[in-house]
């Protein structure tokens, strides 16, 4: 696993480089602004964006953090809910959360989920091993799909003077419409549930 402190230093360097080159490339790169911004946030943890990790940490601390889950939909006929309101996890330990998405319309829905965490200072330390975010999803009419998210809070948060006092983190997802076709096999591989739209509602 990459040291979050090193990632934080890299984030500061990338922010400086981005600011210096922003004026030069603003016009020419306007068409790619959204995907480039998403990539930038994933690499740096900027704007509270959760970072991706390849492996869980070797150290688990006694201290714990309460992780809350927030779900939102923008302009889509979907019911999107977390199966759990919150989870308490020890710092360095791996947590697993599940989210259900139901297409409440009679047409296929093409969507992509973006995410961030609050407070912003937790971004470099809240890392995910498995996630459905930023991948186009196709959900058939009346279909409910379950998406897992595997995550951890890196132990280095305990030595960051600005972040060590964080006791509660909110992980927020928002589904947006996606133009064009996406690959329906992605949702099938994650876990699709057949049946009417109402059956996907989670209390």
Report residue 50's pLDDT band, with 50, 70 and 90 as the boundaries: low
Contacts of 10 (CB under 8 A, 6+ apart): 43, 44
Give the Cα separation of 147 and 133 in Å (integer). Answer: 10
Whether the predicted pLDDT of 126 surpasses 90: yes
Whether the predicted pLDDT of 39 surpasses 50: no
In order of 70, 118, 182, the CA distances from 78 in angstroms are: 15, 24, 16
pLDDT at 127: 93
**Quick one: average pLDDT of 84-112?**
96
pLDDT at 84: 96
> 4-200: CATH homologous superfamily?
Ctag/Cox11 (2.60.370.10)
Identity of the highest mean pLDDT range in 29-33, 36-40, 48-52, 164-168? 164-168
Task: Compute the mean pLDDT over every residue in the chain, rounded to the nearest whole number.
Answer: 76
- Among 32-41, 53-62, 133-142, which is the least confidently predicted range? 32-41
14 vs 158: which has the higher pLDDT: 158
Residues 179-195: tens digit of each pLDDT: 755 444 344 434 555 44
**Quick one: average pLDDT of 65-88?**
97
Indicate the domain borders of the chain.
Answer: 4-200
Q: Which of 121, 143, 114 is nearest to 34 (CA)?
A: 114
If you ran DSSP here, which 8-state letter would residue 141 be given?
Answer: T
pLDDT at 180: 57
Count Cα atoms within 13 angstroms, Cβ side, for 152.
21
3 state SS of 73: strand
Between strands 64-73 and 168-177, the pairing is parallel
**Quick one: average pLDDT of 65-84?**
97
Give the Cα separation of 79 and 70 in Å (integer). Answer: 13
Neighbours of 111 (CB within 10 A): 22
Whether the predicted pLDDT of 103 surpasses 90: yes
Cis peptide before 151 (omega within 30 of 0): no
Residues 133-147: tens digit of each pLDDT: 878 899 999 999 999
Q: Which residue is listed with tokens 């600005």?
A: 162
What percent of the chain stands above pLDDT 90?
52
């Amino acid at each position: 696993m990459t040291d979050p402190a090193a990632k934080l230093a890299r984030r500061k360097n990338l922010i400086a480089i981005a600011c210096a080159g922003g004026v030069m490339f603003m016009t020419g790169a306007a068409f790619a602004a959204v995907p480039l911004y998403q990539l930038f946030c994933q690499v740096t943890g900027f704007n509270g964006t959760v970072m991706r990790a390849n492996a869980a940490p070797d150290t688990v601390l006694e201290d714990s953090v309460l992780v809350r889950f927030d779900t939102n939909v923008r302009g889509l006929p979907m019911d999107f809910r977390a199966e759990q309101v919150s989870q308490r996890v020890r710092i360095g330990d791996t947590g697993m959360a599940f989210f259900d998405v139901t297409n409440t319309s009679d047409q296929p829905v093409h969507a992509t989920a973006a995410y961030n965490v609050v407070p912003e200072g937790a971004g470099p330390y809240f890392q995910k091993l498995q996630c459905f975010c930023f991948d186009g999803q196709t959900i058939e009419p009346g279909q409910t799909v379950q998406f897992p998210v595997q995550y951890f809070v890196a132990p280095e948060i305990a030595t960051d003077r600005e972040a060590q006092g964080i006791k509660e983190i909110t992980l927020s997802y928002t589904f947006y419409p996606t133009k064009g076709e996406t690959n329906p096999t992605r949702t099938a591989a994650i876990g699709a549930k057949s049946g009417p739209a109402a059956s996907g509602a989670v209390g």
